[in-house]
Chain A
Amino acid sequence: MNPTENNTFCPNEIDASCRVPLLALFGGAALWLVLGLALGIAAMLSFHQPDLFAGCPFLSYGRAQAAANDLLFYGFVIPAALGVMLWIFARLSRSPLALPLVPVAAANLWHVGVLVGTVSILLGFSTGHPWLEYPRAAAVLLFAAFMLVAVSAVATMGFRLNRELYPSHWFLFAALLWFVWSYATANLFLVSGHPPRGVAQAVVGWWLANNLIFVWLALAGVGIAFYFLPKIAGKPLASSGYALFAFLTLVFFGAWAGIPPGAPVPAWLPTVSAFGALLSLIPVIAIGIIAKKTVCGAKVPCRGGPFCFIKFGVLGFVVSSLLYLGEFCPRASRVLEFTWFQTGVTQWQLLGFAGMILCGAIYEILPRVMDRELPFAWLVKLNFFLFAGGTLLFVVPLLLGGVEQGLKLRDAAVPFADTGAAALKFLRVSTTGQLLALLGSLCLLLNILVMTIQWKLGLVKCVVTAVTAPLNAPEVKS
């Protein structure tokens, strides 16, 4: 099935059914993206001016950094991806969104959860487990909200007219299941109040981090890209068979990576993970080839629009995944472990891959859903160049600085203070990149915000006209 066919099937009704849930999801996501990047910059300031927040516990590096990372992932990536998923499922099903009020409630619940979690971290109530810092109250809200959106998404998928599943269906449906299962499992083990003994906590944490930041991002991001790339390029996906191969290898191999080679655990665990990471190269390369074949030869100009975002995002997926999987190679890990390299790879996965694809998808969807043009269409191009350039300037110095730091760490003759100093000059450049990405994200927020205001004003105007309209003649008593 070719997704371009959908346009012929009453798309207006479908888009209208998505309007309110998507606005709720995207609006909050864009706001969290801006706040997450801003908080990330605030955190990095501690490296430029160590005593800046000496008297302010809320912005000390350890807290602000964790809160910023969680804002990017839980605040921006997940709700934005859920919104895009709902729309894709509705379009692929050729039927309006099922239970449209449920995701609206869920979106608000989700954003409250993110708010509670972020404030908790800044106040010092983090759980202390990477990617699972949100305390129980926030985790429960997030889980409930995700389940609600998933119910609506799966119901929409169930109402599809064409029973054949499109490749995006596999990736996105699996992403829904994946988050629910892995997030619930990790929270039950680590946040429930009865954590497992000792280092088993860290193992569960690594398992979750890999399943969210590698597998879930890949499922969601690639699923979305596999819908939009053929649609914009005007060519079918090349091909469904390859996509099935990539999907199966991704879920079966990808879930085994995650335990770092130097971990203080029995040696079989990192060994299994290194093997899983090696096999995960297969789906990453396969996805790269599929995207390349689909896009190649398409006579569609890019011009900094959604197509650019999504192409850049897929390229970002391939590169960041290769770097991520490389970290599990024991030999590379001896240099790269415990350095800024890992931070750089994670930020690339979040911003350069998922962030780019989601921004592109939002710009593609929003005008259709709202049935009006973007208020500042020229900002899309600016957003692309700021975000793409900013992400690269943010991430590449971290990668290079990480390698230099790692090489110095490996040489015991170099004093430890010098290894930190080596990274500082890279961090200066990196923060500049972060600032550019923040400016880019402001473009997204501005577009969504103004669009929401216009839409709400339109609603008010509608009500006012209805109320103030002259009554029909028969109703007027003379």
Chain B
Amino acid sequence: MSGKNRFEIERDELLGEEVWLARTSRGLPVRVVPTQRFRETAAVLYVGYGSTDLRFELEGREIESPEGVAHYLEHKLFEDEALAAFDRFSSRGARVNASTSFSRTSYFFTATDQIAANLQDLLHLVSHAHITEENVEKERGIIAQELRMYEDSPDFALFFDFLGGLYARHPVRHPVGGTVESIQDVTAEHLLECHRAFYRTGNAALAVCGPVEPEAILDLAEACALPEGDAVPVLRPADLGPIEAATQPAPRAREVPRAKMMLGCKDRDLTDDAEQRRHRQLMTDVALDRLFSAASEVREDLRHRGVIDDSLSAGYLCDASFGFSSLTCETDDPDATAAALTEVVQRPPRIEADYLERVRAKLLGRYVRSFGSSRGIASAQAEEAVHGLAPFQAMRRVAALTSDEIEARHREHFRAEALAQARLLPA
């Protein structure tokens, strides 16, 4: 195939946007959003490998890697034979960076010029792991400093205490970057094994948004030297059972002006189907919005009773191997706040028609806004591509929502036996 024939093109009439979809000959999914709306081009290479992929099978062996290895690898891939990756991007006026989460690592740049050189460079860096014992050792101190900075954050400590309470065995309980202790065990061999296991075209996707020619981007993407194939099987405990009292974190004393607490539930069943996860995410987000958005009379009542304040935030995070909701709040009386929130989440409110209409309008506004930057668009497209999700489906999902299924999702997720909490108390 050549030219436009190599692509499928999906359009969204409401937004007036289109996405060009293709695959390189090695099987790397590529999405391009060609637009003259932006002067800046953003490119995101998304790899479906994160901090929870610690145990896996590779070449007939079972491998157990230290906590924090995915984040360590992200650091090391920014170093190649020339040892000046940041300098090269800077010299082209580009900004480059990367981030690691529980289930993915993404590499990205934004630039207004020399897009081809920047993209080639990014693909080369991620495809070729230039890792030696010497340069792994050199990076250890820098990563340790980064981890110490996170550990100084009370919110960080609270979050991982909470996850430790929810999950006694699943590696989501560990900090994404590991700990200063765990990274001491990371070796060049670990990093190279993880790169071989997960950095594959079937476990990655590239998305580019900006004033670019899709054909030219696809030609450049052909240079991506990641090997073909899917990621290797990951071995994780399911860890879906009831919360275990023995693993509940004790309240921890920290130098904080007020107590902080987190409370939430974990899902008891999971799905490999990314579309079903999106639907579940949406239903849970709406269930939480109904209770805890600024428009909710439930939240206002809790505020008036003095058991929460505006520091309360609510969220839900899920992936193929975990899913949990969380409520985070500062409080003067953690017992009263925990009791009130526990009671509220276990009493599903009615999802009335006028609420559903309002939340649909709000989500439509949010969806339109999400197309406001080249970086945001490229990130969203890369994530959808790696999970095999079709573009422009967000509003279809919102339109299909029903009150009954949101209420059912609420009852199914917020169960007493699935609820954990963590607290930080002023020292």
The finding on whether chains A and B are genuine partners in a shared complex, rather than unrelated, reads: no
Chain A: residues with CB nearer than 8 A to chain B? none
Binding site for A on B (CB under 8 A): none
